[in-house]
Structure 1
Amino acid sequence: MRSILRKSKNREDRETTNNSKTENMLRNGASVLKELIASSNGNYNPYRIFSAQELKLATNNYDQKNVITEDWGCILYKGFWQERLISVMRFRESNRDEHGSCINNIVYAAQMSHNHILKLIGCCLETQIPILAFESVEYGNLRDRILSASQPQIEPLLMKHRLKIAMDIAHALAYLHFGFPRPIVYRDFKTAHILLNEENVAKLFDFSLSISIPEGETHITDTVMGTWGYCAPEYQSTGVFNEKSDVYGFGAFLFELLTGQIISDLMKAADNLGCPLEEYFKKFIEDNSFTEIVDRLIIQDILCLRKEQQLHAYAQLMSECLKESPVDRPTMVDVAKKLRQIYCSFIYELDFKKIQALVER
């Protein structure tokens, strides 16, 4: 009798689980389809539908050892599926907006075709909160890489690396702003949302707060969200934002790359002096103490290679991105072009010096 009751209970549990999966599939599938059609007009990349079991096996039951990076909203894991490496994004259930953030990620990631934006492979819709699968990127985020620069086992990010990362991510943001019928504002740009592989190739990911500007409009007014230090002044004070708000965030990112410090620490230092980030930076230039706030790794690299001109061009661009008025900031296309000029100049002279040294031998 006990055996019969146990089998009956197991059957009921399986039926309950299957019903729950079906309900989740219908609910999540409908949400994704609705938002995709509204956002992309049906123009998006095909993606695979995974089962929860497949992604569980791929990550070894979401083993903590497989964590690539984690944020307040989600965790990214290393995975292995059908003889290929993948990255699996799982959202925290403690975050009350996790379902909307997840759907937003699927909707925008499915539209992306850019070498420096993490490519969506597929998703699992049968869980209460969908789980996403991306191309492989086994290394951590840029924020952690900058902060662990003092660790001897970590390869330092020299100026040429930082310029290349900045240039590539500038192109990715320019693609969001100008590559679609309606500009996409990323809205939560920060170093923690940039992943690196072993060749230091940068990939932008996490579209949790991204939004398209409505047709015929030049800006959006919404609840202020994002990360302190990266949010543009006009967005923080009025809730109004557009593509130029991303440009400000990019300026803050350039500041982090230059100084090797996280933006919250830089903001605290600026607040202590009672000035905006741009004015804080200008004080060091005017006092001829610019090198005091630059990462020592960069200073050593620059002085050794005599690259002060490129460093000052970078600093000037950063200052323009951090302008208090959005009208005074450049577009991301202009930023990408300028960074490309700085990077090419830097690499050309570097290669020229190498050739010259070989000739002199």
Structure 2
Amino acid sequence: MKATNNFDECQVFMRAGSFDMYKGSLKDCPIIIKKYYSFSVKNYDIANSCRHLAYKDIAIGSSMSAHRNVLKVLGCCLETELPIIVYEFGGTKFLKDKECLSPLPWKCRLKIARDLASAIAYLHTAFPRPIIHRDITPHTVILNRNNVAKLIDFGRCISIPRGESHVEDGLRVTSFYGAPEYFKGNRISEKADVYSFGRLLLELLIGETLYDFCKKHNKRWVEHKDLSSDIVDSIILTSTNIEIEQEQLLDFKTLVIRCLSTDEEQRPTMIEVGKQLSKMYQSLQSPH
């Protein structure tokens, strides 16, 4: 309570469907606090759902905190109606914010992509059973003042049963980021995250969220055929002067198309995606 000045509304920097995120301070050190909406407890089913999200967020988020590109869990309070989670301070900017994303040069965007791919690959491979995030969107990526990306919000994660390649899943997802298999049935694999990540890569390319882009251009969707030079953010084009970067833009687009394949078997794994992005990033010699 004291860390956020009794959850002062002025300290809120992010509102989501089931929680608020606050800037706070603990022993003169900045922190972030996630508070799930307490009004939900008036409805038992909703409260139970929120409580389940919160506990899963704590459990998986804590296990993922070893990765440098995941917002580190420092602790939690379980004495409240719904759990409260305390994190390291990782900044208050989100990838969804156009004023945050648009000015970033190509190398910085490539680093963000590489780092997030590493975090998602870790989620898929570092535990006894693969875990699917199910909510890879620009709303779940926070950036610090040096534009280092941190993945957040593990409450919607689901693990694949031992010995299985897919898991039954009835989650409702946003059409902009949900893989096609969500709308064809309810069995998904890690490749659903690959698709969502492909949409995120596309946003890094165009410099704004897909929702904003489609609204501005009166489109319902961004097709593969749209991945021509005119869709690339002008900031990238004006800052991309050396030949290798032009080649990388083509390689990046190809990777986006592979991630967005409607056939999940044709999508690369997140480990493959991470390796390709690391190779692109390492080949750049110019500073940020």
TM-score norm. by structure 2 comes to 0.90
The correspondence of residues 278-357 of structure 1 with structure 2, limited to 5 A, is 280-281=223-224, 283-285=225-227, 290-302=228-240, 304-306=241-243, 307-345=245-283, 347-348=284-285, 350=286
1:251–1:322 CA contact under 8 A, matched in 2? yes
Over aligned residues, Cα RMSD in angstroms? 2.2
Q: Residue type of the partner of 1:200?
A: N
2:129–2:161 CA contact under 8 A, matched in 1? yes
Alpha-carbon distance, 1:229 to partner: 1.0
Alpha-carbon distance, 1:147 to partner: 4.7
Aligned length: 279
Q: Structure 1 or 2: larger helix share?
A: 1
1:81-131 Cα offsets, whole Å, 9 max, x none, are 123221100112355232111111011112121000111111111111010
1:216 and 1:64 map into 2 onto residues whose CA distance is 47
The correspondence of residues 117-132 of structure 1 with structure 2, limited to 5 A, is 117-132=70-85
Are 2:93 and 1:140 equivalent residues in the alignment?
Answer: yes
Greater shift in the superposed pair: 74-83 or 334-343: 74-83
1:68–1:138 CA contact under 8 A, matched in 2? no
| 1:250 paired residue number | 197
What is the DSSP-based 3-state SS (H/G/I as helix, E as strand, rest coil) of the residue aligned with 1:69?
strand
Percent identity between the two aligned chains: 38
2:101–2:208 CA contact under 8 A, matched in 1? no
What is the DSSP-based 3-state SS (H/G/I as helix, E as strand, rest coil) of the residue aligned with 1:143?
coil
1:197-243 Cα offsets, whole Å, 9 max, x none, are 11111100001210111111111112132332111001222121110
2:3–2:25 CA contact under 8 A, matched in 1? yes
Alpha-carbon distance, 1:329 to partner: 0.2
Q: Mark the structure with the bigger radius of gyration.
A: 1
Q: Residue type of the partner of 1:132?
A: I
1:74–1:229 CA distance, 2 compared to 1 (3 A): same
| 1:190 paired residue number | 137
Larger RCO (CA under 8 A, 6+ residues apart): 2
Which ranges in structure 2 are unaligned for 5 or more consecutive residues? 41-45
2:162 and 2:281 map into 1 onto residues whose CA distance is 35
What is the DSSP-based 3-state SS (H/G/I as helix, E as strand, rest coil) of the residue aligned with 1:323?
coil
Which ranges in structure 1 are unaligned for 5 or more consecutive residues? 1-55, 151-155, 355-361
Q: 2:146 aligns with which of 180, 199, 202?
A: 199
Greater shift in the superposed pair: 304-313 or 212-221: 304-313
2:95–2:101 CA contact under 8 A, matched in 1? no
1:69–1:140 CA contact under 8 A, matched in 2? no
2:133–2:193 CA contact under 8 A, matched in 1? yes
1:270–1:215 CA distance, 2 compared to 1 (3 A): farther
Q: 1:89 aligns with which of 30, 34, 57?
A: 34
Q: 1:78 aligns with which of 16, 23, 26?
A: 23
2:183 and 2:73 map into 1 onto residues whose CA distance is 31
Are 2:206 and 1:259 equivalent residues in the alignment?
Answer: yes
